Amino acid sequence: MNKRNFTHNSNFVFASNLFEDKEVEYFLQEVNLPGINFNHITTSVSAVPLVLQGDTPQYNDLMLSFILDEELILWKEIFKKLTLMRNPENSYGDNDEKWGNLIIQDDNSKEILKLEFHNLRIESVGDLEFNSNSEDEELTLSVTVKYDYFIILD
């Protein structure tokens, strides 16, 4: 799989076992760096409201946009994996631990940030839109992923 896109200044690589049983690297068109939120605890001291820092982080979803090939191989792999994760015919589910690494590179392919995501789960897979009236455009597939937490690797 090609890790370098010469038409862009930055490269985003997602390596994971989410869609296959082994680690596979995917070239991304777009990705977000997820935010984090805390639920705050409101209490009072002598009738004055006091807001305390919450202790349970809530991570925003990871949103990936994959470039698809002409044969839609990645799209087929994702939907096959979704069927294995929650087979509608027998309600059997795949509960294996899924992980992923997001690597952001600069224009010289130097790694500037690496995040490790733990216990990935697919939230949604976007629609593919075909249009015969436009120029040759890259097909992209949006996938929203939930996870328990992530850490920054040095």
CATH of the domain at 23: 2.30.110
- DSSP string of 37-98, one letter each residue: EE--EEEEETTEEEEEPPS-EEEPPEEEEEEPPTT-HHHHHHHHHHHHHB-TTT--B-----
- What's the predicted TM-score (pTM) here? 0.78
List, for residues 20-75, the tens digit of each pLDDT value.
778 888 888 899 999 999 888 888 878 888 888 888 889 999 999 988 888 998 88
For residue 3, being part of any structural domain is answered with no
List, for residues 81-99, the tens digit of each pLDDT value.
887 776 666 655 556 788 9
For residue 6, being part of any structural domain is answered with no
Q: Looking at the 3D structure of the chain, how many domains does it have?
A: 1
Mean pLDDT across the chain: 83
